[in-house]
Amino acid sequence: MADVRFESMKNGYNRYQVDDKIEQLTQEIATLQKKLELYSARLDEVEKQSKEYKEKYQNLASEIHIKEKAAEDIARISLKEANVIVATAQKNADIIIQEALTSAKMILIEVSKLGEETGEIKGRMMNQLENLDRVLRNFEIPPLPDMSLLEENEMQ
């Protein structure tokens, strides 16, 4: 507005120039008011959207927090259950090992008994074989009869 100059005339400025400028300024003001109304409406809409987005963000943040908490709880419970399973498996393994050791000990005792019995049986059999060998060595085969005697008896 500082660069606007009107022609000077008697009793003031040129009325037509002033009227034209006023008309131009009135149109600019009307245009600016329409723009202001549009921008105000747009600002209201953006503020409304912003408020909705903030609410959605708060809801999502709350849901994420709840889900994170649930995930932490599940992880903690899973870890406890895993520890219980491991402890139970260790106890069961210890029991199985004890049973296996007991079975192995019993088998070893049985094998030892069988070894002793086998040794005893072997000793008895050795004695019996020695007795049989002695009997066989002492066994005398009677002399064979003279075959000619048999032939004479047959002829008669």
Residues 67, 111: Cα–Cα separation, whole Å: 64
What is the reported pLDDT for 84?
96
Look up the pTM and report it: 0.43
pLDDT beneath 70: ranges in the chain: 1-10, 145, 149-156
6 close to 14: Cβ distance less than 8 angstroms = yes
**Torsion sign over Cα 60, 64, 65, 69:** positive
Residue 156, helix vs strand vs coil: coil
pLDDT tens digits, one per residue of 10-19: 677 777 788 8
What DSSP character marks residue 144?
P
Give me Rg for the CA atoms of the chain. Answer: 63
18 close to 7: Cβ distance less than 8 angstroms = no
What is the reported pLDDT for 27?
96
What is the reported pLDDT for 142?
79
Largest CA distance in the chain: 206
Indicate the domain borders of the chain: 8-136
Residues 135, 129: Cα–Cα separation, whole Å: 10
As given in the structure block, the two tokens for residue 107 are: 């088998």
